[in-house]
Structure 1
Amino acid sequence: MWGYLSLLPAFLALWAVAGIWTVFALAVANKSVNLNEGFPYISFCGSYPPQSCIFSQLLNMGAALAAWICILRYHQLRDWGVTRRFNQLILWTGLLCAFGTSVVGNFQEKNQQPTHLTGAFLAFFVGILYFWLQLLLYWWKKNLPQPGSPWIGPLRLGLCTICTILMVAMVVLHSWVPLRSASASCEWAVAMLLFTLFGLLSVDFSCLDSCTLCLQAAPGLSPPPPLASTSPVQIQLSQGL
């Protein structure tokens, strides 16, 4: 069970890459975009039917998978001894990235541009912040487990650096109309890098072998029966299940 779960980030990366390039191919095929006029933004490719339907479904499912990955990562870092506040900060940046991705898919640019741009900000800028915070965590706490080969850490640092530079370039180039195609190319590159960073979490999840569920009564509820324990109930799910 846990072996398959470790492949979830890699599946998300492959799903997203294949999906948005399929949307691009459909947009070109049905002439929703004209490459002679310049390279299109990702959102522009997904603004018109039928690819807009695929685009929305793709990003909604991707957002759900990303949120689940962020939650698993939160519990893994908690078990590794990461402080609660910093771990929650990482979790919420990841969840905001997932939420922004869903917003981008459901609020097309031609219909709700302000909402769409807000979602894009969460997906791209907060998304890269999610990975920078994890790199900061590894730099701050040298005793954290380092799954995978020694080059994984430098690779992540390089991907985050390139991704950040491209996002700045994307914003700057967008302000010049003749350079919009270059800005759109930066956007596609940023998306590919973010998908790759999510996929690399499979390396960290490769050491998952169990999960602990803690059940505790919510505040304000009636007291439990006398025979029931008031302490959290821990259920250990092992690989043998």
Structure 2
Amino acid sequence: MWGYMSLLPVFLALWAIAGVWIVFGISVVNGTVDLSKGFPFISFCGSYPPQSCIFSQLLNVGAAMAAWICIVRYHQLRDWGVATWHNQLILWSGLLCALGTSIVGNFQEKNQKPTHLVGAFLAFILGNLYFWLQLLLSWRMKGLPRPGAPWIQPLRLILCSLCLILTVATVILYSAALRSAAAACEWAVAMLLFMLFGLLAVDFSSLDGCSLCLQPRQGLGPPPGSPVSLQVQLS
């Protein structure tokens, strides 16, 4: 039976996919988005109240879950013997993706476009990089554990490749003023990234939980009367 840690990536994927489409539906119903004028970008759907409030909360919660998943994944890869520099590169690309997601939700395009675009870059580009780095890691380290069915890795390769292709297509189509086509590609990229996060449930399937352990830095003794380490069990 999978523990709660393996369910967190699935919950994140469902939360994000359902949430952005709910925001889309609200924007269409209240007339903020007029589909007769073209298909909208995700950010445009979440730029006006009341859906902008839902959009911000949705992405903030999603970003927090994504950051926690990246941290757990970092410790899992560390326990599997992944080199520190490579593991930290993966971790920071994931954390910056989560930060960008939060920025996108809090700095709407119509209010603060430059900041919004920075957040979109972090969310989409570094989000894609996060999963490509893990694929490259699995190819280089032949002895790395590969939980799940044999088709999981090929599926990840397909999703990452599609994500990269559609990201490039989004930029090209937007530059060519084909906004509806660019928006459709953006939606597809977002769905692919959500699914890639959801697939981490396979890697977390052997985890029953996690614990937080606080220890003094080496060379520094604990203050009088305090324990050497404090362990807070979270599972």
Fold conserved between structures, TM > 0.5: yes
Where do 1:1-241 residues align within 5 Å? 3-177=3-177, 179-209=178-208, 211=210, 213-218=212-217, 223-224=221-222, 233=229
How far apart, CA to CA, are the structure 2 residues paired with 1:157 and 1:213?
Answer: 33
Structure 2: gaps spanning 5 or more residues: none
| Runs of 4+ in structure 1 over 2 Å off | 209-216, 218-221, 223-230, 233-238
TM-score, normalised by the number of residues in structure 1: 0.91
8 A Cα contact 1:212 1:234, kept in partner: no
Q: How many pairs are equivalent?
A: 235
How far apart, CA to CA, are the structure 1 residues paired with 2:183 and 2:65?
Answer: 26
8 A Cα contact 2:60 2:101, kept in partner: yes
Q: Encode CA deviations 1:187-207: one digit per residue, 9 max, x unaligned.
A: 000000000000000000001
Q: Encode CA deviations 1:165-202: one digit per residue, 9 max, x unaligned.
A: 0000000000122x110000000000000000000000
Q: 1:214 deviation in Å?
A: 4.0
How far apart, CA to CA, are the structure 2 residues paired with 1:47 and 1:160?
Answer: 28
CA 1:220–1:118: 2 relative to 1, 3 Å: farther
8 A Cα contact 1:159 1:197, kept in partner: yes
Structure 1: gaps spanning 5 or more residues: none
How far apart, CA to CA, are the structure 2 residues paired with 1:140 and 1:192?
Answer: 28
Q: Encode CA deviations 1:104-145: one digit per residue, 9 max, x unaligned.
A: 000000000000000000000000000000001100101011
Q: 1:54 deviation in Å?
A: 0.3
How far apart, CA to CA, are the structure 2 residues paired with 1:162 and 1:30?
Answer: 33
CA 1:228–1:2: 2 relative to 1, 3 Å: farther
TM-score, normalised by the number of residues in structure 2: 0.93
CA 1:4–1:211: 2 relative to 1, 3 Å: closer
Q: 1:219 deviation in Å?
A: 7.3
8 A Cα contact 2:3 2:209, kept in partner: no
Please provide the CA RMSD for this pair: 2.2
